[in-house]
Amino acid sequence: MKLKIKCSELLKQLNICQRIASSSISPILGNVKIRAFENEIELTASDLEIYYKSNISAEVETEGAVCVPVKNITEIINTIPGDEILDISINDDFLMEVKFSKGKSKRESVYTIFGNNPEDFPSLPDEEQGTYRELSLSVFQDMLNKTSYAMSTDEAKRELCGLLIQSDGHMLNVVATDGRRLGNSFIETSFDKCEDIIIPAKVIGEIKKMEGDNFHIFISKQNIIFKIDNVSLMSRLIEGKYPDYKAVIPDTKCCTIKADRKELLALIRGIMPIAKEVSFTVKCVFEKDSLTMTALSSKIGKGKRIIDIENDGDDITIAFNARYLQDCINSIDTEFVIIEPTSTVKATKILPYGIDNHINICMPVRTG
């Protein structure tokens, strides 16, 4: 195998492959598979749950394939100036040689990297026949950003370690919850009807970083495939039934509170140094025109911060986890935030002001 390729273009895709690869499962999965053919190279990485494939334009002199440790090659390529043209070759023993010339003298720099047989790399699952659904990447990423913060990290509740996607053919609905907070975003769209599916968190993280114009989604019973231009990201879906999240969303409220988003976030940041010492517990006193947030630690002391608010109901005191409250508010991009408590012990809605397609839920903390 022999080819030439621009350093920056190769590095961009290697960085993604490194995030996908997982040598803890099998040594070969710590590799990226590189295949050169016609006028491009194909990079493949996998952890057996997620498969990533990308095609990059290259000047291919001799076709071939190799597996190389993705961490090693990424670290090496990262040291080379992005505008350099790399001369890459592989011999019969899968030894990769990377050359480039730098400076006025054009002295040649050379790296040799031990590679592996590409036949040892697991093959990608066959793509099932079906229809690819088209969707705006920026719209989908916005929905993920508004909800993914609430995904669980508790593997004992595997179905919560991902994002629920629902579509009835008219409304696309995205939900995440860990039982203590919930994010829900929905839009009207012509996205085809599909059964409820749960997408793993690792895949969500990669989609949020993607760039491109032509975004398509293919859904089968076990897998989901995302295609953007010359990139394919395939993942197994999480098995299991997602809990009835709608039962958590309250349909009543005791008052409506309006607060400036930036002031609210500053309030939480100001009280966090003490709150983090007491499991992030803060007491929020909502009065007619003010919110007083306090945290009390036997090791550090006490902190109190106050901001102006508008409250159309009676005074109410609720204890929250400051981090969870912060996550909910960070998912909102409007100038003002609406807070709708139900009671001191039941779910509280946190909403963007003037927008009705984004809901956050934060559960109160029970204190002694």
Instruction: Give one DSSP letter per residue of 178-205, joined into a string.
Output: -SSEEEEEEEE--PPPEEEEEEEHHHHH
pLDDT at residue 213 greater than cutoff 90: no
CA atoms within 13 A on the CB side of 107: 3
Whole-model pTM?
0.90
Contacts within 8 Å (CB) and 24+ apart, 274-277: 274/300, 274/301, 274/302, 274/303, 275/303, 275/322, 276/322
| Residue-level pLDDT at 52 | 96
pLDDT at residue 284 greater than cutoff 80: yes
Contact (Cβ atoms closer than 8 angstroms) between residue 275 and residue 295: yes
pLDDT at residue 257 greater than cutoff 90: yes
| Residue-level pLDDT at 104 | 65
- CA atoms of 10 and 52, how far apart (whole Å): 15
Which positions ≥6 away from 146 have C-beta within 8 Å?
174, 183, 185, 331, 332, 358
Give all domains of the chain, ordered by start, each with its CATH number. 2-120 (3.10.150.10), 133-247 (3.10.150.10), 257-362 (3.10.150.10)
Write the pLDDT tens digit of every residue in 9-64: 999 999 999 999 988 889 999 999 999 999 999 999 999 999 999 999 999 999 99
pLDDT-derived band at 127 (thresholds 50, 70, 90) equals: low
| Residue-level pLDDT at 146 | 97
In the chain, count H helices and then E strands.
6, 26
| Residue-level pLDDT at 212 | 84
| Residue-level pLDDT at 169 | 87
